[in-house]
Chain A
């Protein structure tokens, strides 16, 4: 419950953040909503001698939807995602998923940027971002760069982000067609036993395109190219769904924990994906 001591900074511009990250290296971390970092600090699983609060930085807030591209500032909270009518129109899967994350209090504080930068395979937004083929925008001492969500996750808590970089925004093309985020969990606020993000578009009664990503079934989120491909061109009937599930099962690698043994998680993964595909197709 009692975190170790740290120095606290609240810079007002990004240059200030980067300067602090450069000065303190491994000893510094940014804090966004704090709802993954503070719990870890309270358990002394994270040691952060220099804590850099992003709350006063301008330009990390707000949702912008222009020319079919959705851009979400890193400090946009899950609560804001749920309450944005524009977001619901442009990418309704965001609200469906955000409502399955944590609980009301956590959603007022927890940010999109923190959720995707955290690197915990339990987080729901990383898989969602891979499903949407999102881009992550990073700023560091050498300037700005962009990384595909599908290339960002390396292992648990290991991402492509350098220690001195800050994630400023995520963006993606407004998805077309039907969508679903289906999450199996033990209770409110629990990380998924298994979850699936699905977007499907339809043309002439057939699947025109499908994107499928799975949450908490490996040490990173899993975007299953082959599962999506198994649906394309089909009428999304039982056989096609079965083929997609089989393909997905080849891509995940769950581990046993108190959410269940590996065989159970694989079973749950198949169930949630089947449900997600069915719901997405019904909305396509």
Chain B
């Protein structure tokens, strides 16, 4: 066992400090140290994307980042997007369009979709499919996830226009 290091993370706008071994994966630091259990673990080969969070403005698979590397970062998880009383547009649309069943892929899917829409507010269906290709889902067949994201995009754009 190596020495524990002092880790600082800002998660969903809140500062956290804790001790961890450098080899601890970011996903486990979030889930086990900070009790942020939205991001999930679905594989050990970095394919499924259930662990997706936003780190310093990038969609990352938090199972493939050591907490040592993440030290000093800003992280957003699904919990930081919205909560049951004030859902994020994406969360609302996943609910509306039946974009989830078991819900296990959903936190990663929604976090990834949020970043995708930030970078490309008007994606085509093909761009959505390609943009979430790092996120696997066992239940939905993706169709309704795509619908949810496209519908969230138009709502977000309409809201932007209305605000202008």
Residues of A contacting B58 in the complex (Cβ-Cβ under 8 angstroms): 79, 105, 108-109
Other-chain residue from A3, A7, A108 in contact with B60 (beta carbon distance below 8 A): A108
Q: Which of A32-40, A149-157, A261-269 touches B?
A: A32-40
Residues of B contacting A6 in the complex (Cβ-Cβ under 8 angstroms): 2, 22-23
Contact A103 B68 (CB under 8 A): no
Within the complex, what minimum Cβ distance (angstroms) separates A107 from chain B? Answer: 8
Residues of B contacting A4 in the complex (Cβ-Cβ under 8 angstroms): 23
Is B44 engaged at the interface, CB distance under 8 Å to the other chain?
yes
Residues of A contacting B44 in the complex (Cβ-Cβ under 8 angstroms): 1, 39, 42-43
Q: How large is the interface on A (under 10, 10 to 19, 20 to 34, 35 or more residues)?
A: 20 to 34
- Give the docked Cα–Cα distance between A34 and B62 (Å): 11
Contact B49 A103 (CB under 8 A): yes
Is B104 engaged at the interface, CB distance under 8 Å to the other chain?
no
Within the complex, what minimum Cβ distance (angstroms) separates B35 from chain A? Answer: 20
Contact B134 A51 (CB under 8 A): no
Residues of A contacting B1 in the complex (Cβ-Cβ under 8 angstroms): 5
Contact B23 A189 (CB under 8 A): no
- Give the docked Cα–Cα distance between A188 and B132 (Å): 10
Contact A109 B133 (CB under 8 A): no
Contact A38-B134, Cβ < 8 Å, known A4-B23, A7-B3, A189-B47: no
B interface residues with partner A (beta carbon < 8 Å): 1-3, 5, 21-23, 25, 41, 44-47, 49, 52, 58-61, 63-66, 68-69, 71, 112, 116, 131-134
14 further interface pairs, Cβ-Cβ under 8 Å (given A38-B64, A51-B22): A4-B23, A5-B2, A5-B22, A7-B2, A8-B2, A34-B64, A39-B44, A43-B44, A104-B133, A104-B134, A105-B52, A105-B112, A106-B134, A109-B64
A-B contact pairs, 29 of them (CB 8 A): A1-B44, A1-B63, A4-B23, A5-B1, A5-B2, A5-B21, A5-B22, A5-B23, A6-B2, A7-B3, A8-B66, A8-B68, A31-B69, A34-B64, A35-B46, A39-B46, A41-B23, A42-B25, A103-B133, A104-B112, A104-B116, A104-B131, A104-B133, A104-B134, A105-B52, A105-B59, A108-B60, A109-B65, A188-B134
